[in-house]
Amino acid sequence: MNTIEKASVTELVETTGHAGSEWLSRYSSSLMDVFGTPQRVLVRGAGCLVWDADGKEYLDLLGGIAVNALGHAHPFVTSVIASQLATLGHVSNFFTSPTQVALAEKLLELAHAPAGSKVFFSNSGTEANEAAFKLARRNTGNADTKRTKIIALEGAFHGRTMGALALTAKEAYRAPFEPLPGGVVHIPFGDIAALEAAVDDTVAAVFLEPIQGEAGVRPLPPGYLKAAREATSKAGALLILDEVQTGIGRTGKWLASEDAGIVPDAVTLAKGLGGGFPIGALITFGEATSSLLSAGQHGTTFGGNPVATAAALATLHALESQNVLANAAAVGEHLRSALAAIPGVTEVRGEGLLIGFDLDADVAPAVVQAALDAGFIVNSPGPRTIRLAPPLILTTAQADTFLAAFPAILQAAKDAQ
């Protein structure tokens, strides 16, 4: 064998010099068609900007769907990942590593978790919720009560694997894959009376997103989390918060639920946690909940991998030391108030840099296309709803370029209908 030395990816795949159309035709011959046709072929990113194979520049206002908290190619995160990978890339969970332990400790600190709280690492959001689902199944109750039910909300999105899919409400995602794991009941969104009526001693857990991202950035009404905490505590059910999209500074706070004045039993995280590197986590609060899953009852090959945990440590450090959460809160506020003043925008929702806004016509998919043509990446979670989840380092000046362009983008979308 010849020795094989350092190389750059361009020696394996020519990332420039091929038109986007060529990649898309190769894509359609080789990739499973579950995502539809990709909108563009992206080759490079820096901060809040990305470039496609044809050299066009975009302001990324979606951030890989709330993932790229520090934007693209962040020098601090990239160099920490590279240094960990060059030191120790992977070990099995027969072993641990310093970054894994340090990240677990850091997450417990950021979540204000009480003594006895613990962390389980996964590779994605759906896997964090699978772990939470299995945790809930272990909340069996005593000999007399059998806790077979799990409550989730209409509009909920918790992931695409079978357990998380059972928690997800959308019929089009669920129906082709039934039977799903049983016992999940969906109750009306934001209705405290319906929640109180549903939570009794047959319920193992209640799963809630503080803000439903996929449903169009719908925040739970004030007081809902508190009522959920009271009802679940009374019934002995777990309160599990899915902060996969809302966590890690997205709302200008470490957790969207942190001002609700409650201590949940578990929180799931993923998306922003690794700053673009795949990692998820389940945090369990307190000794009793943290010991529901015992040795051998759950596992994963990659979960808590040294590189993924180093990426997350680097992301958390940069978010903290650069005061990025305050930026997300301020730029988000600026965007929301300016969007609300644009004709054709009928409602603006969200917190920090997780923003949803409704239009006065069912043109959201056409807005996504018109925005791309104008050099902006946005997303349409519904026929008249646009979602923004940009890097948390977005500047006011960058936000203003989108605000200035949006009226013409909306008009172009309406003209294209």
Catalytic residue ranges: 157, 242, 271
Determine, following the binding rule CB under 6 A, whether residue 121 of this chain makes contact with ligand PLP. Answer: no
Q: What is the spatial distance between Cα 399 and Cα 339, in angstroms, rounded to a whole number? A: 10
Q: What is the spatial distance between Cα 273 and Cα 267, in angstroms, rounded to a whole number? A: 13
Point out the annotated binding site for N(2)-acetyl-L-ornithine: 160, 300
Q: What is the spatial distance between Cα 73 and Cα 69, in angstroms, rounded to a whole number? A: 11
Q: What is the spatial distance between Cα 345 and Cα 356, in angstroms, rounded to a whole number? A: 11
Q: List Cβ neighbours of 22 (8 Å cut-off, separation of 6 or more).
A: none
Closer CB to ligand PLP, 154 or 196, in the complex: 154
Closer CB to ligand PLP, 167 or 409, in the complex: 167
Determine, following the binding rule CB under 6 A, whether residue 385 of this chain makes contact with ligand PLP. Answer: no
Structural tokens at position 295: 């040795």
DSSP 51-90: EETTS-EEEESSHHHHT-TT-BS-HHHHHHHHHHHTT---
Kindly tell me which residue out of 242, 265, 351, 358 binds ligand PLP, with binding defined by CB under 6 A.
Answer: 242
Q: What is the spatial distance between Cα 51 and Cα 39, in angstroms, rounded to a whole number? A: 13
Kindly tell me which residue out of 68, 245, 284, 379 binds ligand PLP, with binding defined by CB under 6 A.
Answer: 245
End-to-end Cα spacing for the chain? 59
Instruction: Give the bridge partners for 151, in sequence order.
Output: 185, 206
Structural tokens at position 409: 């983008």
Task: Please choose, out of 99-107, 153-161, 216-224, 400-408, the segment that lies near ligand PLP by the rule CB under 6 A.
Answer: 153-161
Closer CB to ligand PLP, 66 or 370, in the complex: 66
The CA–CA distances, whole Å, from 275 to 100, 278, 320 equal 16, 8, 13
Determine, following the binding rule CB under 6 A, whether residue 241 of this chain makes contact with ligand PLP. Answer: no
Q: List Cβ neighbours of 207 (8 Å cut-off, separation of 6 or more).
A: 129, 132, 136, 150, 151, 152, 153, 156, 158, 167, 240, 241, 242
Local structure of 218: helix, strand or coil:
strand
Closer CB to ligand PLP, 213 or 275, in the complex: 213
Determine, following the binding rule CB under 6 A, whether residue 52 of this chain makes contact with ligand PLP. Answer: no
State the minimum distance, in angstroms, from the CB of residue 322 to ligand PLP: 24
State the minimum distance, in angstroms, from the CB of residue 363 to ligand PLP: 24
Q: What is the spatial distance between Cα 264 and Cα 50, in angstroms, rounded to a whole number? A: 38
Point out the annotated binding site for pyridoxal 5'-phosphate: 125-126, 157, 242-245, 301
Task: Please choose, out of 69-77, 111-119, 152-160, 285-293, the segment that lies near ligand PLP by the rule CB under 6 A.
Answer: 152-160
Instruction: Give the bridge partners for 362, in sequence order.
Output: none
State the minimum distance, in angstroms, from the CB of residue 43 to ligand PLP: 23
Determine, following the binding rule CB under 6 A, whether residue 155 of this chain makes contact with ligand PLP. Answer: no
Determine, following the binding rule CB under 6 A, whether residue 209 of this chain makes contact with ligand PLP. Answer: yes
Closer CB to ligand PLP, 76 or 302, in the complex: 302
State the minimum distance, in angstroms, from the CB of residue 281 to ligand PLP: 11
Kindly tell me which residue out of 228, 270, 293, 409 binds ligand PLP, with binding defined by CB under 6 A.
Answer: 270
The CA–CA distances, whole Å, from 274 to 77, 169, 213, 330 equal 9, 27, 19, 23
Task: Please choose, out of 69-77, 124-132, 190-198, 331-339, the segment that lies near ligand PLP by the rule CB under 6 A.
Answer: 124-132
Kindly tell me which residue out of 41, 244, 279, 313 binds ligand PLP, with binding defined by CB under 6 A.
Answer: 244
Instruction: Give the bridge partners for 261, in sequence order.
Output: none
Determine, following the binding rule CB under 6 A, whether residue 64 of this chain makes contact with ligand PLP. Answer: no
Determine, following the binding rule CB under 6 A, whether residue 159 of this chain makes contact with ligand PLP. Answer: yes
Q: Which residue is nearest to ligand PLP (CB)?
A: 125
Kindly tell me which residue out of 74, 118, 147, 158 binds ligand PLP, with binding defined by CB under 6 A.
Answer: 158
Distance of CA 218 to the CA centre of its chain: 14
Closer CB to ligand PLP, 71 or 163, in the complex: 163
Q: Give CA angle at 356 (351, 357), nearest 5°.
A: 125
Task: Please choose, out of 4-12, 118-126, 215-223, 286-294, the segment that lies near ligand PLP by the rule CB under 6 A.
Answer: 118-126
Binding residues among 335-364 for ligand PLP as defined by CB under 6 A: none
Determine, following the binding rule CB under 6 A, whether residue 251 of this chain makes contact with ligand PLP. Answer: no
Q: What is the spatial distance between Cα 339 and Cα 46, in angstroms, rounded to a whole number? A: 26
Q: How many residues touch ligand PLP (CB under 6 A)?
A: 15
Interface with ligand PLP (CB under 6 A): 124-126, 129, 157-159, 209, 213-214, 242, 244-245, 270-271
